[in-house]
Amino acid sequence: MFRFHQSRLQLKEKLGKGRFGTVFPYQKDPQDRKWVVKRIRADDPDVLIASLPEVVLGFSCDHPRVVPVKGYFIEKDLDNVSYNIYMKLPRMKETLGNDFKERKRKNNSYQEQDIVQHFHSLVCGIEYLHSKKIYHGDVKPDNLLLDENNVLKIADVGIAKHVEDEDSYQTLPGQVGTYQYSAPEVLGEKATKETLPKADVWSIGVVILELCLFDFRMLNSSLPQEKLQNKLDELFRNLQGKYNSKLINLIERVLSLDPKKRPEIGEVRAELETNFSEILDEDLVHLGKSSLIQKETQPKTEVLNQHIKEISQQQEVERNQMKQKISQLELQQVEQKQQYESRIQVLLDQEAKNQQEFAQLEADLKAISHKLAGNDTTLRSYEEQIRSLQQAKASFEQKSKDLEKYIETTVKNQMKTYEDQIKALQKHQQQEEIKFDQERTKLLKECEPLQIKMREFENLKNVGAKREIFGEDYVRNLKKVVLQLDEKFNQWFEFQAHESKLVISVRRDRRTGLM
């Protein structure tokens, strides 16, 4: 274990994410770029036990071409069910896969020296793992890291297989890695003593072939052997003339479909060191299977095994507690079942009662239906009458609309004409009245002397006296004036009567037009 500081874990800056965990910076300050932490989340103790091989295997490895686990820390999550495993690792620059993509973008292919050095680093690291009975099983560019000096190192042993004895081979499954890099013999097959190490050799050959041809994922190991061999022959032909013939020959043998013809990992390393010693890392060449490979790592594994044992014991305690909870839940379930059965019986009784009521309702409904059937004729008659009334109503409403329209147009115009006539007659009447008043005033003035004489004349008791005083001509003239006055008064009365008749006639015509 190591002293884990949560404050140094930069969760906002995610460096990478894979199937088995996420990588974050682990630093004291922004300038500290030495370490990273890989966090693996286990949802329950069983997943925790399954995730520990990566910790155990990585912690037990000590080789310059294998990324070591420098420390680990396990904590229980806040939910008291999940676990978080933190592994402290040295910080690398990038994966070989990302380097490949960047070179592809810039059209900057690998030189033969780069390919041979990566080939040798990969072979040495895998040979070291094989010496510890560890078989990687998922060698591919995304699981190979480059440090600041572009030195290749093997990482991600999360699905690696650790075989302690011969019997362990019988319990291992076949291919669980990426099928484009898996050997044909392990696809869906059980692992054997021969297939595990030779499968890693095949995966190495696929990675090196991709670097040479500067292309990704060209092979599909699930193809029939004849088609797969034809594809390999085509790719090998593309290598001719581009690289050293010894390198091409070695790649062809590494990618042999028959695992028996495929060289051992140690043979591949020896051949590379023999043919390309001038461009290889001398320290790595001399390392071989030295004391560094044989270095005792038992204390580390004992600590981890003890930790696994403690977790297993804790898991057993939790399982016993869970069994007790399950027993209690089963008892509660029995009680609840009895309560539910009692409730169900009550509901069944209620349903039977409801069925009886429903049957009675159906009988009542049928009786009502019969009554309604007898009233259908009457109902249709009423409906016809209603339709007739509705039609009559519609006709009356139409006539009303027509009458309103007629009144709005014709009658209103007539009323206006009549009103104009009445106004004209009233005006004429006023003018005649003024004229008559003027003539009457004139006559009255003319008659004032006559009236005086008339009064004097009337005061006389006999006609003879009147004639003696006024003379015969005067009396005749006076009678003539009186007749004129009578005629004027009669004309005025006739005019008034005529005007009244006109007004009455106009008003009568107006009332007749409104009817």
Tens of pLDDT along 367-391?
A: 887 777 767 777 778 788 888 888 8
pLDDT of residue 289: 44
Tens digits of residue pLDDT in 273-330 = 999 989 888 878 777 645 334 444 444 556 556 666 666 676 677 678 777 878 888 8
Distance CA 488, CA 490 (A): 5
Highest mean pLDDT among 143-147, 165-169, 284-288, 487-491: 143-147
Query: Dihedrals φ, ψ of 153, to 5°?
Result: -140, 145
Query: Do residues 116 and 73 make contact, with C-beta atoms less than 8 angstroms apart?
Result: no
Query: Dihedrals φ, ψ of 134, to 5°?
Result: -110, 125
Work out the average pLDDT over 238-252.
93
Its pTM surpasses 0.75 = no
Q: Between the CA of residue 185 and those of 82, 137, 195, 250, what are the distances in Å?
A: 37, 13, 7, 20
Distance CA 478, CA 466 (A): 12
Question: Kindly report the CA angle at 82 between 77 and 83, in degrees rounded to 5?
Answer: 70
Long-range contacts of 273-282, Cβ-Cβ distance < 8 Å, separation of 24 or more: 273/120, 275/244, 275/246, 275/247, 275/250, 276/116, 276/120, 276/244, 276/247, 279/113, 279/116, 279/117, 280/116, 280/117, 280/120, 281/117, 281/120, 281/121, 281/151
**Tokens 């409801």 belong to which residue?**
354
**Quick one: 210 exposed, middle or buried, by C-beta within 10 A (0-12, 13-18, 19+)?**
buried
Distance CA 233, CA 316 (A): 55
3-class state of residue 151 by DSSP:
coil
pLDDT of residue 503: 56
3-class state of residue 16 by DSSP:
strand
Residue 26, beta-bridge partner list: 9, 35
Among 6-15, 185-194, 461-470, whose mean pLDDT is lowest?
461-470
Rg (CA), the chain: 64
* Neighbour-count burial for 225-258, b at 16+ CB within 10 Å, e otherwise: eeebeeebeebbeebeeeeeeebbebbbbbbbbe
Query: Dihedrals φ, ψ of 146, to 5°?
Result: -115, 135
pLDDT of residue 236: 93
**Tokens 């007898």 belong to which residue?**
374
